[in-house]
Amino acid sequence: MTSVLSGQVAVVTGAGRGIGRAIALKFAAAGGDVVCVSRTAENSERVASEIRQGGRKAWAHAVDVSDSKAVTAAGEKILNEAGRVDILVNNAGIARDGLLMRMSDEDWDAVLDTNLKGAFTFTKAFSRAFLKQRSGRIINISSVIGLMGNAGQCNYAASKAALIGFTKSVARELGSRGITVNAIAPGFIETDMTSSLNDEMRTELVKRIPLNALGKPEDIAEAALFLASPAARYITGQVLTVDGGMVM
């Protein structure tokens, strides 16, 4: 693979598994150095170790993305360690599914705090550095659920739809300094979240996808690499849907 990210440092939240891990590994394979952020030190260090074994630099940070003070402190430490940050991928996310009438305030708050506030806190933490260097790529991982909604996921859908509005607004704020801000809306991807589906549920799900298959984390990682690469220099404020054709 060509080193399209050579000399660049990327921060990936939710890097411990699934889509975040795939993005972190893809960026490293493209020549980038990667800061792996996860809720647990074990998960972040495991992926960072994989990257180091491949010959790239990697740092591991255990951070609760919804904790503003913790994110601010982590941001300062990351800039000191790595020297700079060129790419930020806001991928950290959780789901606490349930019907509206039965949903607790705690489940609503937890999903919004992680999925939406987490992107806000990390973007804010690195925005000054991006502005100063007059460059930067911010990629927010939304979801097709934020575009079409889904019964039993009003909190998740709200967080992912809001992330799209956040993306477009920040793209307008930072664009004059050469900073691009885009979102990716994955469809149903083979991750821990979908591994619990039984055969009947999986069959019904695949029927809704024109390409007749679930996606893989690498599909999202390829899209993220494109948006982080020089090829996407003139793309900002957009939502790239990677879903096998579910949302058209």
Whether 125 and 75 have beta carbons less than 8 Å apart is answered as yes
* Alpha-helical runs (H) found in the chain: 18-29, 41-53, 68-82, 105-112, 118-133, 145-148, 154-174, 192-195, 199-207, 217-228
pLDDT of residue 202: 87
Q: Which residues are catalytic?
A: 156
pLDDT of residue 197: 78
pLDDT of residue 191: 84
pLDDT of residue 2: 63
pLDDT of residue 196: 73
Q: Listing from the earlier edge strand, what are the strands of the sheet with 33-38?
A: 58-62, 33-38, 9-13, 87-90, 136-141, 179-186, 239-242
Distance CA 26, CA 13 (A): 14
Paired tokens of 89: 């991928």
What pTM did the predictor assign? 0.96
Q: Where are the domains of the chain?
A: 9-241
CATH number of 9-241: 3.40.50.720
Q: What is the pLDDT along the chain (248 residues), one digit of tens a residue?
A: 569 999 999 999 999 999 999 999 999 999 999 999 999 999 999 999 999 999 999 999 999 999 999 999 999 999 999 999 999 999 999 999 999 999 999 999 999 999 999 999 999 999 999 999 999 999 999 999 999 999 999 999 999 999 999 999 999 999 999 999 999 999 999 987 677 778 888 898 899 999 999 999 999 999 999 999 999 999 999 999 999 999 99
**Digit-coded pLDDT (tens) for 143-175:** 999 999 999 999 999 999 999 999 999 999 999
Whether 180 and 236 have beta carbons less than 8 Å apart is answered as yes
